[in-house]
Amino acid sequence: MSPADKGAEGARAALLAGVMCFVIWGLAPLAYQPMGRAGADAWEIMAHRTLWSVILAGVLVLLAKQGAQVRRVFRDARLLGWLAASTVLIAVNWVVFVWAVNNGHTLETSLGYYLNPLLNMALGVWLFRERLGGFGKAAIALAAVGVALQALAIGQLPWVSLVLAFSFAGYGVIRKRAAVDAQAGLLVECLLMAPFGVAWLIWLEMHGQGHFTAAPQVVALLALAGPLTVFPLALFSWAARRMPLSAMGFLQFIAPTISFCIGVAQGEPFNALRGVSFAFIWAGAVTFAAGAFIRNRASRKAAERTRVV
């Protein structure tokens, strides 16, 4: 196989991994909703998510030979502090997401994850002094109008959307500063959450409210929370290192689009004003993706000119 063929095959594999991770994230409501119908609330699902993620993330860390990174985190108080902060943010994100999809707010989770890349762009300007071009300004303006219309449509601020967007964006900022790979960082975060999760599961079982010893199919459902957490992240990390930023920019809208379709199909309230609000959000998302594509293409051309010179 020629180097060109190998490169094309690697690009296809990265694209497939990227699509798979966002499809899994988009379909996640369909996995968490049966857990809720089985009687588990958001906190119990969160505890199971943490417990099973520790096991699976630990296996991935061992396979990737990143154990030294995990040990380094626990020896470095500053790095551990960063990951403790990221743990709080991702815990908030997980609980709110699970609560939302089990209480008829899947459309609001979709809105939150449409907003996320636009919020990341705004935070990049504010925290890292990144330059915001015309496409970026237009995307943020369109998203702001969409959020305002969404608030009018549902009669209040879309707090689920905003909490999900801000918590995940803040998580991304912290993980950008923390010098640790994705799998190793996730294992540390799950280890920090695990004592609380295990304690909560024990308390539930002692008071006859837990589902850990329920029917095997319920336990299997709850255990699914681990793979749903770890595997998409592993796929995302692998793909992100091998794909252009613009391509990932397009792919990241797969997940909220699937969630949006799930929410509509399940009969969540969707009036004309809410439709207009999503139209503004979609316009912002397309503008964001177009800007990322144009910047990436310009960077490639500049790099090619430099090589020719």
Candidates 83, 63, 64, 62; CA nearest to 73 is: 83
CB neighbourhood size of 301 (10 A): 10
Query: Which tens digits make up the pLDDT trace of 133-160?
Result: 787 788 888 888 888 888 888 888 889 9
> How many domains is the chain partitioned into structurally?
1
The range of the structural domain enclosing residue 188 comes to 3-308
Query: Which tens digits make up the pLDDT trace of 267-304?
Result: 998 888 888 988 998 888 888 778 777 776 776 676 66
Contact assessment for residue 201 and residue 51, using Cβ atoms and an 8 Å cutoff: yes
Mean of pLDDT values over 230-240: 83
pTM of the model: 0.85
Q: How far apart are CA 127 and CA 143, in angstroms?
A: 20
pLDDT band at 220 (very low <50, low <70, confident <90, very high): confident
Percent of the chain scoring above 90 in pLDDT = 41
Can you give the pLDDT at residue 94? Answer: 93
